[in-house]
Amino acid sequence: MITIDANFEGGNFEDIHQIGTNHFCGKVAAKLKEPHLKWFCFRIKGNKGDKVIVDVHYGKNIFPLSTNVKPVISYNRKEWERIKSTQWSGSDPNRQIVSVTIKMQKNIAWVAFCFPYVYSDLKSYLQKIEKDSNIKIETLCLSPQKRAVYLVTLTELCKEDNNKIGVWIIAREHAGEVCGSFVCEGLINFLLSKNKLAKKLLNKFIFKIVPMVDVDGVAIGAHGKDQWPMDFGRDWTENPTISIVKSIKTVIDKWAKTHQYKLFFTIHSPGSWDTNSIYTFSKGTCSASLKYYYEKQHKFMELMEKYSPSSNKIYASRYCEETIPGMSTQLQYIKHNVLVFCLEVSYQRALPNGGNITIQSLREYGAGLAKAIYYLNSEVTL
């Protein structure tokens, strides 16, 4: 007997029913009334050797069919691989279906839109690194459902000397954009490594990282983009309505008064078929009082192309000069005169040959980001 459910942390799949021999279907749920229903994650229980077909229904066509986005599968929730037998269909504009065919390698399998990274994964990771002398982990605030929103500080011996350059990084404003969590892990792992450049970074910089912003959305398996009544990534005003956003903003504002705050990053994921890119400001948008701001942006993108790994490359030409009211980047730029970047890190295709990214390649992107930050300071005045 085969059963399918999503009754676990980060699960999202509902109205599940059987439509044929070992053939099931269900739909992606709008957990937060969000219109962009990318994220799904479900569990299959059966027997090793079973051939199972699952049709995942979306509420509307959200991906170009030619891209053939490939979901992932795991038998232990640690190692994940792409599902090769994947077929997309969607002639009806109000319905799109991805059909996955699986030959069970064990009795239980987990299937997801992309590599899951849930709240308990973050807690386990932070517990592994918390004893390092160069790191401090604290609760920045509590979510509405009483989960801790963590703030991770990394600098040499955790001495926040105000002569050091301050860098703020936030991820998972949209719960389903899982790539940001792996990028943050990769950056932190590099900073805590024995690499000589890592030691120089900790000596010169203070990294303040909020690795998971919408912790409740992550826990319930939401995607979160344009969620009702307010998108986490559009609530960055002088008086945010979302309590978590308000708390992060308040902490940054207070910290900036006594430190050399120079860089801000928010990590997202683009439309699932897209490659890595960066949102920046146009030359006309950049303030005349911030000398050479536009040129500094492009220097950073050149460095990202140079130091991003071949496994997860980003090219300097892949940028979009666009500002959206309410974004964290816009507020940090206006309020603190810092260099800001919205990094769009692809779920799916990042390799020059069109291949799919892996968890390791996402972590390698994080290490590349750390290197680009260091050399940006070396080449331009921050």
How far, in Å, CA of 169 to CA of 208, rounded?
A: 6
- At residue 275, the pLDDT reads 87
- At residue 66, the pLDDT reads 63
Confidence (pTM): 0.97
Across 101-137, b (16+ Cβ under 10 Å) vs e yields ebebeeeebbbbbbbbbbbebbeebbeebeeeebbeb
Output the average pLDDT for the chain. Answer: 94
pLDDT band at 167 (very low <50, low <70, confident <90, very high): very high
- At residue 6, the pLDDT reads 98
> pLDDT tens digits, residue range 86-136?
998 987 888 899 999 999 999 999 999 999 999 999 999 999 999 999 999
8: pLDDT strictly greater than 90 = yes
- At residue 154, the pLDDT reads 98
Question: What mean pLDDT is predicted for residues 72-97?
Answer: 92
How far, in Å, CA of 169 to CA of 68, rounded?
A: 31
Task: Using the structure block, give the residue that is written with the tokens 């301050």.
Answer: 166
> pLDDT tens digits, residue range 284-328?
888 777 789 999 999 999 999 999 999 999 999 999 998 888 999
Task: Using the structure block, give the residue that is written with the tokens 């009334």.
Answer: 33
67: pLDDT strictly greater than 80 = no
272: pLDDT strictly greater than 80 = no
Q: Is 256 helix (H, G, I), strand (E, B) or coil?
A: helix
> pLDDT tens digits, residue range 172-184?
999 999 999 999 9
Residues 6+ apart with CB under 8 A from 105: 48, 75
- Two tokens at 313? 């490359």
Question: What mean pLDDT is predicted for residues 239-267?
Answer: 98
All structural domains of the chain, each given as residue ranges with its CATH number in brackets, are 3-112 (2.60.40.3120), 119-379 (3.40.630.10)
> pLDDT tens digits, residue range 170-229?
999 999 999 999 999 999 999 999 999 999 999 999 999 999 999 999 999 999 999 999
- Two tokens at 236? 């960055």
354: pLDDT strictly greater than 80 = no
Strand partners, 342: 266, 279
- Give the Cβ contact number of residue 181 at 10 Å: 27
Q: Cα(first)–Cα(last) distance of the chain, in Å? A: 62
